[in-house]
Amino acid sequence: MRKEFYLPYFENKKVTVMGLGVLGRGVGDTAFLAACGTELTVTDMKGREDLSTSLEALLSYPNIVYHLGGHTVSDFEDKDFILKASGVPIESEYISHAVERDIPVYMSAALLVSIVKEQLKNVTIIGVTGTRGKSTTTYLIHHLLTHAGKRAHLGGNVRGVANLPLLAEIEDEDFLVLELDSWQLQGFRDLHISPNIAVFTSFLDDHMNYYHNDKEAYFNDKAPIFLFQKEMDVLIVSPQAHTELAKRGFGKDAVVPEIIVPPSQLIGDHNRVSIALACEVGKQCGIPIEVLHEGVSTFTPAQGRLQPLGEYRGVKVYNDNNATTPDAVVAAVKAINETYQIKPIVILGGSDKGLDLTLLEETMRSDTKAYILLAGTGTDLLALPKDNVCETLEACIAKAFELASFGDVILFSPGFASFSTYFKNEYERNDAFVDALKQYKREG
């Protein structure tokens, strides 16, 4: 089949892209559509100044009209479809306006999977979701497949990777590995599709500010990972996720792999679960167990996921930027305690997500050498002494090194969302932390 099998879906179509964003995914999808000959309207709540980098990347496409700084109802009429960013609220009046006019509304990961399922029948689609562990599990699955000589593509909720351009790369017999958050899975529900191999890593409280403290609404957005699977498809779950699914009448035929511990650079119980899930996916794809264990041993932790950054002034530093829930911080502290037999100095804090902070507070009191707090709406809610509250991440790091002795571990594990006056998103926070460490490397 020619690479252009996807063109009939986009060529000469009239499409509104809702949410260009600054992370690169929206830009990549928009550029791909424009290159396919789509007549595009791009609308975003942000203005030109905030989107300047994204707009610059699209300068060469004359078939794009921009309506920025807000949305207009007319942009959601007389279109072949709407491409909605995952951050757009499900109750958006503009999306409702399009739906009332029978205009399809797609999200890029779901649209990608839908087209692949229709056109490339022998591609194995692997989707990973979960409150905690989905990123590491996704990256590890992709690593194991490529280590075994398979052609595998990585997408979904992956930094800097747009989904629709993958259509130009995927061939029949390939593997498509997607990290899928609850918002992206809303698009799977709309299209009544699920991956061939679905992985559910965990189900814990998260995003309760978005879901108005309704945990079942959160679960319902996760459920499309398996809801529309066919008879030959496979659902792989952790023991914790299996318990949560069973409470709701799901997962009777799910595969719950044994937690195995081959040699690995990953630390912590939660990462051992990710290893077991990823290896089970590999087995389902026909990879011998010895090859899988070889692959595990060569896998390095993903960026911002309990990632060792080396030693600075004789102090080990771990970047756990993507730990945005109390549960994730507790797991990271436990992993450091067990691995090094030492209590870490923890940097945490950020924007409130409406989650219970009790266990996080107890862990800070009992299992850390010290903790430094980055100011934020979530930080304000912590029932902890506020002696070490800093207004900037740089100040947090400086304070951590003041308190550290040779052989200590500094753990950056925020436990809260990144959106604030300091950062636009979690990736900006990650990069700020890594950049701020550089002076300590030079001085060490």
Of 80, 65, 68, 74, which Cα lies nearest the Cα of 97?
74
| pLDDT at 188 (0 to 100) | 97
Answer whether residue 3 shows pLDDT above 70: no
- Looking up tokens 């707090």 gives 373
Which pLDDT belongs to residue 2?
Answer: 55
Instruction: Extract the tokens encoding 89.
Output: 């609220």
Query: Could you read off the pLDDT of 254-292 as tens digits, one per residue?
Result: 999 999 889 999 999 999 999 999 999 999 999 999 999
Sequence spans of domains, the chain? 12-106, 109-297, 307-443
Q: Percent of the chain scored above 90 by pLDDT?
A: 86
**Whole-number Å distance between alpha carbons of 308 and 82:** 41
**Spatial strand order in the sheet of 345-348:** 307-312, 315-319, 409-412, 345-348, 370-374, 389-390
24 has a pLDDT exceeding 80: no
* Amino acid code (one letter) for 339: T
Return mean pLDDT, the chain. 94
Q: Class for domain 12-106, per CATH?
A: alpha beta
Which string of DSSP letters, residue by residue, matches 162-173?
-SGGGGGT--TT
The two beta strands, 315-319 and 370-374, are unpaired
* Cβ-proximal residues to 304 (8 Å cutoff; 6+ apart), any chain: 319, 320, 321, 322, 426, 430
- pLDDT in the model for residue 439: 86
Instruction: Give tens-digit pLDDT for 28-38.
Output: 999 999 999 99
Cβ atoms of residues 276 and 258 within 8 Å: yes
* Alpha-helix runs per DSSP H in 268-325: 269-284, 289-297
Q: Region 375-386: what's the mean pLDDT?
A: 95
Instruction: Specify the 3-state DSSP secondary structure of 128.
Output: strand
The phi and psi torsions of 285 (rounded to 5 degrees) equal -95, 10
| Helical segments of 43-192, H only | 52-56, 93-100, 108-119, 134-147, 182-191
CA dihedral 17, 19, 24, 28 (to 10 degrees): 0
How far apart, in Å, are the Cα atoms of 378 and each of 317, 318, 375?
A: 24, 22, 8
How far is it, in rounded angstroms, from Cα 192 to Cα 180?
A: 15
Over residues 186-231, the pLDDT tens digits come to: 999 999 999 999 999 999 888 878 888 899 999 999 999 999 999 9
CA distance 221 to 79: 26
pLDDT higher than 70, residue 443: no
Fold of 307-443: Protein-Tyrosine Phosphatase; Chain A (3.90.190)
| Level-2 CATH architecture, domain 109-297 | 3-Layer(aba) Sandwich (3.40)
Confidence grade of residue 441 (pLDDT, cut at 50, 70, 90)? confident
Residue range 394-423, pLDDT digits in tens:
999 999 999 999 999 999 999 999 876 778
| Span 102-129, average pLDDT | 97
Q: How confident is the model at residue 425 (pLDDT cuts 50, 70, 90)?
A: confident
pLDDT of residue 444: 43
